[in-house]
Chains A and B, each alone.
Chain A
Amino acid sequence: MIDRLTKYHHLLLFFIFISTPLIAIPRFALESGSSCILCHVDPSGGGLRNDYGIGYGLDDLSNRIPKRLSSYSGIILSHFQFGGDIRIQSVSKQKDEVPVGLAVFPMQANIQVKNEGEYHTALVELATLRKDVGFQLRVNNLIPNGYFKFGLSKPSYGLKIEDHTAFIRGGNIQLVQGNHREGMPFIPTLENVGLMELGFYFGDTFISVSRTIDGYILGSTETYVGRIEHYRSLRSFQSVAGASFLLEGDLKIFGLFGGLSRGNLSWMGEVDVAENWILDRSIASYSEFTWRLKKGLFLMGRIDFFDENMNFTEDAIRRTTFGLNYVPLPFVDIKFQIRSSQLTQGKQSKGLEFLSQLHLWF
């Protein structure tokens, strides 16, 4: 076992670095027909859940609720709400149908504290594995139906899906296919930066614009990020559509995203084009179907695509993923995934990967 871990130490290191900071599950927002703030303290989503989010985790997400947990609120001291996210992942790599390695490691161990007043919401987050601290103070009633937020945080771009190996996020940090880059710049090691953000809610539309003090991605100049999303219910369908942009010096990223949900079936997708990220223009896309088999049990299929120069030749990567997601109890989420990557001309690249992940939160 130790030999195998040593042999595949690069794989181990690659995933250790994915000690995810704040992540969100936009599918839940789509199915609820509302923006991330419905369940999360941070309007950009991810991290500490609010009262509705805790209730959603208890009543809607899990297979069953033990009586002891049914009154859980996250309030430990009367003025403060505490929460946390812990993720442990294992990866088994297979070559020519033979298992060749297994690694188990922690991905995330974050602690969050919220404090609220009449006009403010303060949120502190400590990412213990990455030794990064986030802090935001939100002034709520300064703007009607909006907020002003500042502190150390990350600007909100795109869908912010929970998997940082998706090409629309950070992709393969270890360059598996031998390209210059294999994914957009939103790698999990990006640190929190000084940030100011304005957010507005117009009915089912949410708009946010933010400016960082230092560069967020390249670290050179300030970064400007804008995002708009609109939720719509039509008969038994729930839908979301949105767009976002990021400008930092010469780097320009623009993306469109959307989703459609009906009953137990939902689809979400995003396409991003980056200019001056690698070679002139790069494109990344993500498309995922999820089917709820029963309460707490989900089946998913996903296709990720990335081309570093948008000419769709042999260096473009397509990754296909199938998986199961099981939430047996509130605050316990187990994922199993099988995935394979292919270059556009059909050449099989690195064999199958088997991933499993345990996510605990409170």
Chain B
Amino acid sequence: MKKTIIIFGLLVGFLIAQKSDLKNVKVLPYKTKRELVKYMKSVVAPELGVKCNFCHNMTDYSSDEKDHKKVARQMMAMVQNANKTMNNLNFHEISCWVCHRGNEHPDHPPEKK
């Protein structure tokens, strides 16, 4: 029984194997998973005050099923675009922290009376 299950599993694994490359990375410039994970862990998560499961399906990080991930992708594109201008003007680059300040949602200005 054990042998049958293992042989079956290995066969399935070989048949539908994929390269361990980055999948569904559209905006960020990283080439390796290590670089990507490091950026997410040291920049995105603390600057938004969230954990991985805020944006990701924990069993498949590449999946786009959560809306937060789609929004985050747009936000990252926005930051990259802003930083192009910042670099051209010799200004400091910005990151999520500029607006989020460690919160899921940036603070909005108080309503005018």
Contacts and interface: CB of A to CB of B under 8 A. Distances in A.
B40 to A, nearest CB: 8
Contacts of B33: 51, 73
A144 B67 CA distance: 13
A59 B17 contact: no
Contacts of B36: 51
B8 to A, nearest CB: 9
A147 B59 contact: yes
A55 B13 contact: no
A38 B40 CA distance: 13
B2 A152 contact: yes
Interface core residue of B32, B34, B57 (most chain A CB under 10 Å): B34
Q: Is the interface of A mostly helix, strand, loop or mixed?
A: mixed
B19 A201 contact: no
Nearest to B17: A79
A312 interface: no
A122 B32 CA distance: 21
Contacts of B41: 52, 55-56, 59
A159 interface: no
Nearest to A77: B20
A78 interface: yes
Given A71-B34, A194-B5, A146 B51 contact: no
A135 B58 contact: no
Contact of B52 (A52, A59, A136, A147): A52
A145 B18 contact: no
Contacts of B17: 79-80, 115-117
A209 to B, nearest CB: 16
Given A51-B34, A71-B34, A118-B18, A38 B2 contact: no
Contact of B59 (A115, A117, A145, A203): A145
A24 interface: no
B63 interface: yes
A79 B16 contact: no
Given A79-B20, A115-B17, A116-B18, A141 B63 contact: yes
Contacts of B18: 79, 116-118
Nearest to A119: B16
Nearest to B57: A145
A293 interface: no
Contact of B32 (A71, A144, A151): A71
A140 B60 contact: yes
Nearest to B35: A71
B6 interface: yes
Interface core residue of B36, B42, B58, B63 (most chain A CB under 10 Å): B58
A37 B16 contact: no
B32 A59 contact: no
A37 B58 contact: yes
A122 B13 contact: yes
A145 B16 contact: no
Interface of A: 32-35, 37-38, 43, 51-52, 54-56, 59, 71-73, 75, 78-81, 115-122, 124, 133, 135-138, 140-141, 144-147, 151-152, 192, 194, 199, 201, 203-204, 231, 233
Given A135-B5, A135-B9, A141-B63, 7 more contacts: A56-B41, A73-B32, A73-B33, A124-B10, A137-B13, A145-B59, A152-B2
22 contacts: A33-B51, A34-B52, A38-B52, A38-B58, A52-B52, A55-B34, A59-B41, A71-B32, A73-B34, A80-B20, A117-B13, A117-B18, A118-B18, A133-B2, A140-B60, A144-B65, A145-B58, A145-B59, A152-B2, A199-B59, A201-B58, A201-B59
